[in-house]
Amino acid sequence: MTWLARGVPVIPCSRTDKGALVPGFGRDASAEQLAKFSDPEQVWAWWSGRFKRAHVGLLTGRGADGRGLVVIDLDAPKPDMPPLEGRWAGCMHGYDVLERLAREAGAELPETYTTESPSVGKPVPGAHLYFQQPEDGPLIGCATGEGPTAPHLGPLVDVRGVGGYIIAAGSYSTAQGRPYQRVSAPDVLPQELPEWLLELLRPAAPPAAPPRPPAPVRVLPTADRAERYAGAALEGAAEDVAQAAEGERNRRLFAAARRLGELHATAPAVLTETTVREQLLAAALRSGQSEREALRTIRSGWERGLVGHGAGAA
């Protein structure tokens, strides 16, 4: 009932194998199917009647408040499991794996609501770290162990999110010989996911489509000499920016924009601000510059060129 008051749905689970005793909570469950797990009268009836000795399971994923829980389940290796190798060499517990991920991110494990889980046949208990589902963006799903995609984190680490559940502190079975118990401070509740962990739990965004290059400037043979020169200057400036090496990119981009700004008055129909910006931006992106920085540099160089040539004078 305490967890219901916190907006977390609950489900009766077997004391022997921890399996859910009531269906209808999976990843694709509807709001109507999930409603019973947040209904105080239904929950009271379960534990005062048919399931009065059941484990208390907490549904992770969608909560009554729209957010709910995501739980990181850290486990000890099974006795017959070979030592971890490669990236995870030396890790003896899921805690070690999560700490290694934190160090790689230049961070520390956050303090949050934590329980200790008994492990049959393992000398070291497991641990459950409770967090709030993210407020913005997609909710975190479930994953077991290491895998190629999020929300997999690594060996000996499971993730319980949408469609999953976790056994709550206070649940006890003779098969495990001890209760699930809270080990965090009494005043600590599930915290928000730290940014570094949220990035690992969310799938990477698909790569952005490469920017479509602007149409090349075409200068008709009938154009006067100044326009033909301006067209050639623009083409040459764009190529020079595209080929710039790291450390020279911003300087060359500024110089190109400034020079074209100086030439603007000689061929205004060819060297329009829009045309220059599109051509130089496409070249800057090809060289590896960011769009935001490149646009700022182009604007600065262009305006300096106009002023230097007198076009921008008051």
Please report, for the chain, the start and end positions of each structural domain, with discontinuous segments joined by +.
2-201, 225-309
Q: What is the mean pLDDT of the chain?
A: 89
Query: Which burial class, exposed, middle or buried, applies to 195 when counting CB atoms under 10 A from its CB (0-12, 13-18, 19+)?
Result: exposed
CA distance 281 to 291: 7
Q: How far apart are CA 268 and CA 313, in angstroms?
A: 16
Residues 6+ apart with CB under 8 A from 116: 125, 126, 127, 128, 180, 181, 182, 183
Which pLDDT belongs to residue 313?
A: 41
Distance CA 80, CA 78 (A): 6
103 vs 89: CA distance, rounded Å: 15
First to last CA, the chain: 73
Of the candidates 138, 153, 20, which has an alpha carbon nearest to the alpha carbon of residue 68? 138
Q: Report how far residue 181's alpha carbon sits from residue 192's, in angstroms, rounded to the nearest whole number.
A: 21
Please write down the long-range contacts of 48-53, taking CB distance under 8 Å and 24 or more positions apart. 51/12, 51/21, 53/15
The strand pairing partners of 58, in sequence order, are 10, 166
What pLDDT, on a 0 to 100 scale, did the predictor assign at position 5?
Answer: 93
Of 188-192, 202-206, 233-237, the range with the highest mean pLDDT is 188-192
Is the pLDDT at 225 greater than 80, yes or no?
A: yes
Number of H helices, E strands in the chain: 9, 12
Beta bridge partners of 38: none
Q: What is the mean pLDDT of residues 4-13?
A: 95
For residue 271, what are its two tokens?
């060297």
CA atoms of 245 and 252, how far apart (whole Å): 10
Beta strands in 46-176 (DSSP E): 55-59, 69-74, 114-117, 126-132, 143-144, 157-160, 165-167, 172-173
Q: Which residue has the higher pLDDT, 125 or 115?
A: 115
Q: Which tens digits make up the pLDDT trace of 252-278?
A: 999 999 999 999 999 898 899 999 999
Q: Across 233-289, where does the E strand assignment appear?
A: none
The percentage of residues in the chain with a pLDDT greater than 70, rounded to a whole number, is 89
Per the CB < 8 A criterion, the answer to whether 57 and 168 are in contact is yes
Least confident interval from 3-7, 125-129, 289-293: 289-293
pLDDT exceeding 90 applies to what percent of the chain?
63
